[in-house]
Amino acid sequence: MGYELNLMYFILTLLPIIAVLTLIMVLKWSGGKSGAFSWFLAIIIGYFVFGADLQLIAVASLKGLWTTIFILYIIWGAMALYNIVNKIDGFTVIAHTFTGLTGNTKVLQLLVISWGFVALLQGVAGFGTPVAVAAPLLVGLGFNPIIATSSALLGRAWAVTFGSLGSSYGALLKMTNLDPGGLSFWSSIFLTIVCIVTGLSISYLYNGKKGLKKGAPASLAIAGGMGCTLIIVANLVLPYIASLVSGLVGMIIGTLILPRTGWYNNHLAKSREKVHNMSFYTAFAPYLILLILAFGIYLTPIKSILSGFKVGLPFPRTETTMGVVNQATSSYSPISIFTTPGTMVFLSVLISLIYFKLKGLWKKNYGIEVFNSLLKQAIPSTVTVMTMSMMSVVMMETGMTALLAKETANIASGVFPIASPFIGILGAFMTGSNTSSNIVFAAFQRDVAMFLGINSLVISALQTTGGAIGTAISPMSVALGTGVTNIAGREGEIIKRIIIYVIIMGLSVGIPAYVLLYYFGV
Amino acid sequence: MNNNFFNIIDIINKKDKKNGLLWSIIITWLNFPFLYWGVSTDNPIIIGLGIIIAAVGIGFTLYFG
């Protein structure tokens, strides 16, 4: 960058982010309206202060919009999936079964679904799918939509780096060129710490101190199982499937072991009676189909055959008058049509519809009713995702995001390991993705670590951990959650509720890393 | 989507959130190929027009959001 960093630039760069947070959390504007305003603000600052021309702004906005196709594909599919199950009253059956399995202990149900099940889904499908699937499932089980969405967002974060079959971890390797063994070691250690904090956070989020007291044994047992599995699989087996296996272990501990222990078994016998003629497998079929498709495609050679069909748009080179260059690309953010998670979700919708029709559960008028409710639910989230994505790409391509990170590193150079996860969080907040956060900031964080003479493996691992944590409060992810739980427009409440846990998670890895680096010379 | 969807004046007057936001989505996506054509051919007039249409989309979102 050809300009001097100063406080004025720093403040101006912060303005769109401050605007998003203030409008959503203080003025209680909807995500879409706040995103539209902040996008406009980013354009004005980018044009008048950072020397972006109209072409750069247009290209950045188009890139942002293009990226949303991928996300919207999942959102609309997941909402359709939820509405289909809801229409046939499947959630009554699912709720009853989960109640039986988890001993009617609500906090255990919440932990199993928003944490273990979500990690399992994150391991295979990833991206927004786990939140989009688990949050409405929890609402169907009788949880408050705010609690359901917040828990699913928090419960997913720790599993993101090694989830989606390791796409964020892959980006970390690619961007830093550091030793893969060292990166997976430190990342798995930090993510395990986050995993422990996550379980306790969800318990506290559910019902304050009472929830924490009731949920602590389960949180520690599940976190112990999932954390150890994550470290073992990431370091000794294959990092790319670490979240998947950990989620599976978490589900087993939460449904098969814990309900039979002294902490939770007193409620086990209460919910055995049958509530519906439909079996659990019929009601849960759309989600089982999704899991089978995801496993069948992502974990077999079919993926490499199908992933060849990609669609990406070429974009020209752009440059600001301050020297920030965005190279021309022949295929920006290509979408692999057949293997993208949205396709899995829509395929599940299609197969489920046929299955329910064959079972005689799908009535004639259901289609139009589901379509209408889908439209009502999906529109606000769609607008939020579109505007937020365009804002973040405008900020990136005008050089504002890089400046923000650079200045943060300058200000926090003495305590950089503590600031490091927060830079990752910032990246994920802006882009809605751990992978994108790593693409934007991983090399930068490695360079700062080298400049400061501290272990760049630890700092790079803190970057991806922060990136994973940050996905919980990214407006795009939050909008996805509020959309599927039918509380669109209440994004501010969610962010307000979970931001403290995100900060605690950031500190829970930043402080130990600081101590290790500066006091133990790691 | 219902019959009211095409009566934009009515949507604006009644501040019909659902249809208003739907229009904002449609305007933004219809503008995509137009603006893309502008940036691909580096045509400042098309880019300028595309940005004006995008601003209308933002306006809709700010008004109905």
Number of domains in chain A: 1
What distance in Å separates the CA atoms of residue A61 and residue A467, rounded to the nearest whole number? 23
Mean pLDDT of the A223-241 span: 91
- Banded pLDDT at A246 (limits 50, 70, 90): very high
Of A314, A376, A387, the CB nearest to B61: A387
Helix (H/G/I), strand (E/B), else coil: A336 = strand
| pLDDT value of position A494 | 94
Q: Which of residues 45-64 of B touch A (CB under 8 A)?
A: 47-48, 50-51, 54, 58, 61-62
Of A202 and A404, more confident:
A202
- Banded pLDDT at A429 (limits 50, 70, 90): confident
Instruction: For residue A505, tell me if it sits in a domain.
Output: yes
On average, the pLDDT of chain A sits at 87
pLDDT tens string A86-143: 889 887 787 677 777 776 788 999 999 999 989 988 876 666 778 888 898 899 888 9
A138 contacts A152 by C-beta, under 8 angstroms: yes
Cβ B58–A383 below 8 Å, yes or no?
Answer: no
pLDDT tens string A177-197: 899 999 999 999 999 999 999
pLDDT tens string A475-489: 878 988 898 888 888
What distance in Å separates the CA atoms of residue A314 and residue A172, rounded to the nearest whole number? 24
pLDDT tens string B1-58: 555 778 888 888 888 888 899 999 999 999 999 999 999 999 999 999 999 999 898 8
Instruction: For residue A1, tell me if it sits in a domain.
Output: no
pLDDT tens string A309-349: 888 999 999 999 999 999 999 999 888 888 887 888 899 99
Q: Domain limits at A141?
A: 7-519
B27 part of contact set with chain A, CB < 8 Å: no
Cβ A313–B36 below 8 Å, yes or no?
Answer: yes
Of A462 and A73, more confident:
A462
Residue numbers in A near B22 (CB within 8 A): 375, 379
| pLDDT value of position A1 | 45
ipTM of the complex, rounded to two decimals? 0.93
Angle (CA) A233 A235 A237, round 5°: 45
| pLDDT value of position A5 | 56
| pLDDT value of position A3 | 47
Angle between helices A7-21 and A366-397 (to 10 degrees): 170
